[in-house]
Structure 1
Amino acid sequence: MKLRRIASYGPAFVLAFALLLIWELYVQAGSIDQLILPAPSTIGSALLDNSSTILDHTLQTLEETILGLAIATVLGVLFTILMDFSSWIRKAVYPLLIISQTIPIIALAPLLLIWFGFGITPKIIVVVLYCFFPITVACADGLLSTDKDLYRLLRSMDANRWQILWMLRLPAALPSFFSGLRIAATYSVTAAIFGEFVGAEKGLGIYIEMATNAHAIRLVFAAIVVTALLSLLLFGCISLIEWLALPWYHLSAVKTLQEYHAEKTQP
């Protein structure tokens, strides 16, 4: 099943390879100056030649990303439980969550820099602000999608609200929670880099800014490649954790998909 899952990504790898090949041939043909758009091979060479420096900046960005994502996850789950236990809190907090997404981070980030300095704290806060909303909303929607029959069954067995939450509602909300977490993971690296753009001593964001100012476009692309790989790595790790935590959910989804294809192939 794992081999089949890996094989399902084959078309994506083929398309990516084809695009890189076209890009390489286009640049090598002299259609564009490599100072403006370097070839993939040039970007790869720059990545290898500057690997130690880029690694140092990458570790800083990764630290900010993981800490911010972890804090956003904890806060998101806690806020979801609070909103679920009190309709008054939900009505008071939920609109504020939506309004918070209308505040441009580009305007807030300089203020965080003034309040907390050039250290790691402002970058973590930026990551939290980016990731908190999708996690909270996804988890809240998951709690609301609890099977009503199972809920009535537990109520008939005199289960209290905490027991129902722990035994039924939270497990049922896990698929939605992981969906929100995957979305947040794709935002998290970008959020950390954006925080570094505003002001930092180290990180991929400040590295990209310095490379841009030096007109070292190949180094800019090298950092972008690392950024994309970090996002894919986090996405993959969360998907793996989800697979290990929810084997029943994925097996049921695969079985449903197989039944659907079997019905379509029937005459």
Structure 2
Amino acid sequence: MAADIPEEDLAETRAALAPTLAATAAILPWLTKDRPARFDAALNQRWIEAGRELARAWSTRSANAGDVVRPAVFALYGVALDSHDADCLALGEALASATDRLEGGPPPAHLIAAMSAAIECFDDVMGLEHKAFPLRARHFARRLTAAVEQPTNHQRSSLIDRLFAAEVGERLQLMREALNALPPDAVMLKSAAAQIAEQAELIELFGLMDQARQLAWRIDATTDLEHPATRAAIENDLTRISEGVAVIDPL
């Protein structure tokens, strides 16, 4: 058993540690104190609602994305103007420029990817008060600006097309199995259709994107997948997507 520490040594140790303990005790209240809000609560709520609406508009867009996305982008930009915050303003301007590019014909995949990432990131319950907001805003403002300025490359990759066709073919098979299951699996059908739409958009196959997105919209919690007319419509959608994939990769 270790020998007892002499009281004299303990007293010296306590005396040496006293300044450190006092300094720590003084800091603790500051560490536990809530960070003060950077923005007015009402303004932040407007940003949150505008971000949520932009995310909804982006998720329901068609190939002509500017029609539904532009009003939502400029609603968010309006909040940015009211914030008088440099990061908010830079992000709003970058989103507005990217939206202009959407209306100049089919947008390139890198622009779609940049907008998708930015919109998803800022659909956040903390809004402007998220501790990482300034860093995120600067990052996405730069990324969106670079995406707008990057030249569009229309040269397709046959390898990417073949990989896409193979993956979609597997998804379509699983979707047919889900439709024929008892009961039919609506969640799987809707999820797979949305994934096909997202992948098609990233490689600029906007016709397939629209077909898959329309199929995803057709299915919701109230859809009766056992009704003959509904099943026929879904089977027709699956056939049309299959035919579109066959055009891309006929092998």
TM-score by length of 2: 0.30
Higher helix share: 1
Q: Which has the higher contact order (CA 8 A, sep 6+)?
A: 1
Larger radius of gyration, structure 1 or 2?
Answer: 2
